[in-house]
Amino acid sequence: MIGLARIAGPVACLGLTLLLLARTRRDRLAGLGFAVLGACMLAASLAPHDYAEAVGGTFAALAIAAGLAAAFRREPWILPLLALACIPVRIGALGHQLLVPLYVVVLAAAMQLAWELAHGDIRARELRAITWPLALYLAWVGLSLDWTQDAHAGAIEVLAFYVPFTVLTVAVARLPWKRIGLWALYAELTVMALVFAVVGFYQYETRNVFENPKVIYSNAYAAFFRVNSVFWDPSVYGRFLVVAMIPSVVLIVRRRSTVVVWAAAVALVVIWFGLLISFSQSSFAALLVAVIGVAFVAWRWRALLAVGLAVVVLGGLAVAQPTVRRSIEHHTRSGLNSASSGRYSLVANGIRIAVAHPVRGVGVGGFQHAYAKRVQRLHGKKNLKTAASHDTPVTVAAETGFVGFALFVWLLVACGSDVVRTRRLVPFAAGLSLAAILVHSLFYSDFFEDPTTWLLLGLVAFALPPAVERREAVAA
């Protein structure tokens, strides 16, 4: 069924491209229809041998989604609240931990979107500046399934992440303005982070980590104990807490209400300690960048001066230590690789793969196969513990080549330009959260695979000032 996947991927992603770029209801409905058709074909290509179970699950999902779509029609803000609640819930399927409950919510959002388009909704280009780069990037990713070195992994990538999360982004961007909905979303995010932090405290106190055998094994031999709360990986747990902390930091800096400031500060303290016991270096780096961003907006050049002085002082103190100086003077490639938990070697080989396939890359989902083949050819290693780059830009460059990487950069710049052009609180907080996830993805390649990324992209577009729309928009 791999041949079917190579056809289905372009159909699904080109359908998404049409959905994002088209201006008439007829064309947008056609794009949504092609996306759904391609997704169904991808699902068929990946379906297990027990078709009865798959068909039964599909009908159950459709029934639940139809009920949710009716609820979204009555109260649209149920969608982001429910989507956020589903983010930690992953179920093993197709050899991966997939967000199955969230897919049902997205299916309901697709039904609601189709109903709105069919009943006269003429809104288009909801994603503002990111519309073109995202649409072209999706089209290129879908086409790359034709030449990918691992069509099975590529099909899972497109079906599980790109197709559903694009629909989710569009649905969030189309939400009606409702201040109480935004406060409810912030309250839900903060409460979830507090609950997950408490679960982390319990794990740290009892030395009992849920589910992940790899974390359990590493904790048995490490000098410190990492927790993962309700998530599969401590880094994913840490990333969620960082995203939850950023709105509170922004509110403290920009809000004048004493009650809000104190409540946000108390929440920040608890979540901070929850982040601390994750021992996620990538999450701390992401939080640092977000805090610097808030400081720069609040204090402008004085913040940059303070950060620069801190870096100079701390760097000078570190280099002044004899042990640190000797380590810097005598560091080796193997030492750097060891210090980065093997990431240096993974990223370096990922860059070499990108250089070897400069134009179109090895195809979506093809990184692991290309990495394994390269290492086996050069070093004779057959059984690799890991073959992920741990770096989203490197993965994008290796899998989609220069074209995909250029579109990825365009997407980031366009999103940043949308955020910079407005001083509104919501796009600013959402933009900082996206920046934090991007920094995190430099060490843990999960930018497009994290539904939070897509929720935030939709939230940035939703919260921007109304665009001047053409009055002569034609309803098809």
Question: How far is it, in rounded angstroms, from Cα 189 to Cα 210?
Answer: 22
Question: Residue 330 half-sphere exposure, CB side, CA atoms within 13 Å?
Answer: 6
The H-or-E segment that residue 92 falls in is strand 91-93
pLDDT for 319 equals 46
Task: Return the percentage of the chain with pLDDT > 70, whole number.
Answer: 83
pLDDT for 475 equals 41
Residue 97: beta bridge partners?
A: 92
Look at the block and give the residue holding tokens 């995190």.
Answer: 440
β-pairing verdict for 91-93 and 96-98 = antiparallel
Hey, what are 254's tokens?
């920009």
pLDDT for 210 equals 78
DSSP per-residue string spanning 127-196: TGGGHHHHHHHHHHHHHHTTT-S-HHHHHHHIIIIIHHHHHHHHHHHTPPP-HHHHHHHHHHHHHHHHHH
pLDDT for 22 equals 95
Amino acid at 285: A
pLDDT for 328 equals 47
Is the model's pLDDT at 349 over the cut of 60? yes
Between 331 and 416, whose confidence is greater? 416
C-alpha to C-alpha distances, 383 to 212, 215, 372, 373, nearest whole angstrom: 21, 20, 9, 11
Look at the block and give the residue holding tokens 């359990």.
Answer: 216
pLDDT for 462 equals 93
Q: pLDDT-derived band of residue 143, with 50, 70 and 90 as boundaries?
A: very high
Q: Are the CB atoms for 28 and 18 separated by under 8 Å?
A: yes
**Nearest Cα to Cα of residue 270 among 213, 336, 200, 362:** 200
Q: pLDDT-derived band of residue 422, with 50, 70 and 90 as boundaries?
A: confident
Is the model's pLDDT at 197 over the cut of 50? yes
Between 15 and 280, whose confidence is greater? 15
